[in-house]
Amino acid sequence: MGIIKLISAKEAGDLIKDGMTIMIGGFMTCGTAKAVVNEISAKNLTVICNDAGFPNEGSGRLIARGQVKRLIASHVGLNKQCGELTNSGQMELKLQPQGTLVEQIRAAGAGLGGVLTPTGVGTIVADSSQPTTLEGKQTITVDGKDYLLEKPLHGDVAIIKGFIADESGNIRYKGTMRNFNPLMASACKMVIAEVEQIVPTGSIGPDYVETPHIFVDYLVLNPKED
Amino acid sequence: MTKDEIKHFIARRVARELANGDVVNLGIGLPTLIPQYVPSDVKITLQAENGFIGLCAHDGNIREDGNYYVVDPSGNPAGIEHDGMFFDSSFSFTIIRGGHVDKTILGSMQVAENGDIANWIIPGKAVHGMGGAMDLVVGAKKVIVAMEHTQKGLPKILQRCTYPLTAKGVVDMIVTEMGVMNITPQGIVLSEYNPNFTINEIQAATEAALIISDHLSPMA
């Protein structure tokens, strides 16, 4: 959206304010913008991400420091603190099937009112009275088959991780770092992209851009040795 | 058999279910042992729900900073085949939920004779989350459960699951160290047995009533 600003990880972290809903890309921290996430100091956050990372790494770091009020994720098993904080009532945890979670994010970015999925029918995922189930679930029958209506998930800020950006903010990923990142970039009011390289505009090439600059507001450069 | 031998025994048998050209998703643990037992003339494509097809072993090169560009769904370093492709999570679950995975092979805590599966949460125990398991068992063309027959001597193959379900009525086949079972509208049919056990012993370790196949044969 407009002109891309190159900022530091600290400046990016400071854009996250108390009470915001943020999306953090990555899968077991592969494709997580760790430099930016590490600089977030805001509290009472609602965090939407695939998993709780590892203790003190990725979104797990925000959880460990008590900055997360509500977590919407599909897997938290590799972060013990997550279960502890949930059991003690310090954090609210909502668990969604991975394929449902990503479609809810896509639905928000695509302007849809939700998606219908057969996943979770007949399980506690369909029952909003369960503590780990999102509110307002409905079962809808289409042509004799039951589906769950899963509503869109919007965010204030998406913190995504790319491999290369050009100076306009076009982004390309590498390996399995893509995962939730391009979807989240479409579903939030503001997008911060942490990348490992920044190259002149045009050098990625229109055939190879994976997330277009129109979604990206801020770039953070975090170089890595390859 | 030791625990480790049991896992390899099960993995070796499940490998025979895979056909040339199959797109396969493997769960964590035991199922990851299966590829080593797939014959070299059977070409399968492994799908990894974190976003690629063509999952294979990592090349072994250690990165000092621990940042790998290709990881498996457990977050461990992995490799990709020459004919593979990376994609985002939405496309990954288009493949999974859309019926483009031929076989998903995963472990379980409980399976019931009606095909119900419970493998993501034990009430009162630590919460892990379902990850991609619910989508996989709903979307894959064939769901194969590869697991030990009992848990601490108690049956895992039940009349009805007691833990919260992963999905209803989705399991097609169960392979354990005791036998190979198929879920049918009539119930669970034992089609192969491990000759180290009697049929009575297998039934005693199973809460659901087993239907003995007319073509019952030893597990090979």
Q: Decide if A122 and B132 are in contact by the 8 Å CB cutoff.
A: no
pLDDT in tens, B1-50: 999 999 999 999 999 999 999 999 999 999 999 999 999 999 999 999 99
Mean pLDDT over residues B83-112, rounded? 98
Any B CB within 8 A of A182 CB: yes
Cβ–Cβ gap B90/A100 under 8 Å: no
pLDDT of the residue at A2: 55
Q: Which residues of chain A have pLDDT under 70?
A: 1-2, 225-226
Write down the pLDDT at residue A226. 53
Provide ipTM, 2 decimals.
0.96
- What residues pair up with A94 in beta bridges, in sequence order? A72
Would you state the pLDDT for residue A25? 98
Distance between CA atoms of residues A94 and A142, nearest Å? 26
How does pLDDT run across B156-190, given as a tens digit for each residue? 999 999 999 999 999 999 999 999 999 999 999 99
> With contacts defined as CB-CB under 8 Å, which chain A residues touch B75?
27-30, 54, 78
Q: Of A154, A16, A150, give the one whose Cα is nearest residue A95.
A: A150
Which residue does chain A place closest to B76, by CA atoms?
Answer: A28
State the pLDDT at residue B111: 98
Look up residue A32 and give its amino acid.
T
pLDDT tens digits for range A95-141: 999 999 999 999 999 999 999 999 999 999 999 999 999 999 999 99
| pLDDT of the residue at A225 | 62
Structure token pair of residue B96? 């999974």
Residue A1's pLDDT is 46
> What amino acid is encoded at A63 in this protein?
I
Q: Which residue of B has its CA nearest to A31?
A: B69
* Chain B residues within 8 A of A118 when measuring between CB atoms: 97, 138
User: Average of pLDDT values for B120-147?
Assistant: 95
B97 touches chain A (CB under 8 A): yes
Structure tokens at B93: 């679950």
Which residue in A95, A103, A163 is closest to B129 by CB distance?
A: A95
**Closest to B138 in 3D by CA, of B55, B53, B25:** B25
Q: Nearest CA to CA, how far is A49 from chain B (Å)?
A: 11
| Structure tokens given for A195 | 């990348």
* CB within 8 Å of A69: residues ≥ 6 apart: A19, A43, A44, A45, A46, A91, A92
pLDDT on residue A56:
81
The helix (H) or strand (E) run that includes residue B139 is: helix B133-139
Q: Residue A123: its chain B contacts at CB < 8 A?
A: 134, 164-168
Q: Is A176 on the interface with B (CB under 8 A)?
A: yes
pLDDT at position A132: 94
Residue B67 has pLDDT above 90, yes or no: no
Residue of B52, B135, B168 with shortest CB distance to A97: B135
Contact B88 A179 (CB under 8 A): yes
Please indicate whether, in this complex, the C-beta atoms of B127 and A51 are within 8 angstroms of each other.
no
A window 197-216, beta carbon within 8 A of B: none
Catalytic entry in B17, B49, B113, B177: B49
Q: State both tokens at B151.
A: 């848990």
Known catalytic residue: B81?
Answer: no
Under 8 Å between Cβ of A72 and A98: no
Nearest residue to A158 (alpha-carbon basis) of A16, A10, A14, A4 = A16
Nearest to A148 by CA among A96, A185, A192: A96
- How much is the pTM? 0.96
